[in-house]
């Protein structure tokens, strides 16, 4: 399961709620969760990370994010 979806489900919130918390459109969250969006802007990743309370490198392990950036 996609890490964003997993974290969102763990919090028990909908994509709409995550959209509200993160400022990311629900349609984009849907594409990210379904793996349709291959390139994610740094600000998008950080916004989702903050809204979900999960480190960005845990949400997007395939991106090889450097922890020093955050």
Q: Which two tokens stand for residue 55?
A: 């480190």
pTM: 0.85
pLDDT of residue 49: 96
pLDDT at site 69: 42
Could you tell me how far CA 20 lies from the centroid of its own chain? 13
Tens-level pLDDT at each residue, the chain (70 residues): 699 999 999 999 999 999 999 999 999 999 999 989 878 888 999 999 999 999 988 888 876 555 444 4
* Rounded CA separation 11/3 (Å): 12
Can you tell me the distance from the alpha carbon of 20 to that of 4, in angstroms, rounded to the nearest whole number? 15
Closest by CA to 2, choosing from 47, 52, 65, is 52
C-alpha to C-alpha distance for 62 and 67, rounded to whole angstroms: 14
């Amino acid at each position: 399961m996609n890490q964003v979806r997993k974290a969102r489900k763990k919090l028990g919130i909908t994509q709409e709620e995550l959209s509200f918390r993160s400022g990311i459109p629900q349609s984009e969250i849907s594409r990210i969760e379904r793996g349709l969006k291959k390139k994610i802007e740094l600000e998008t990743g950080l916004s989702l990370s903050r809204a979900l309370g999960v480190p960005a490198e845990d949400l997007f392990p395939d991106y090889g994010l450097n922890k020093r950036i955050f």
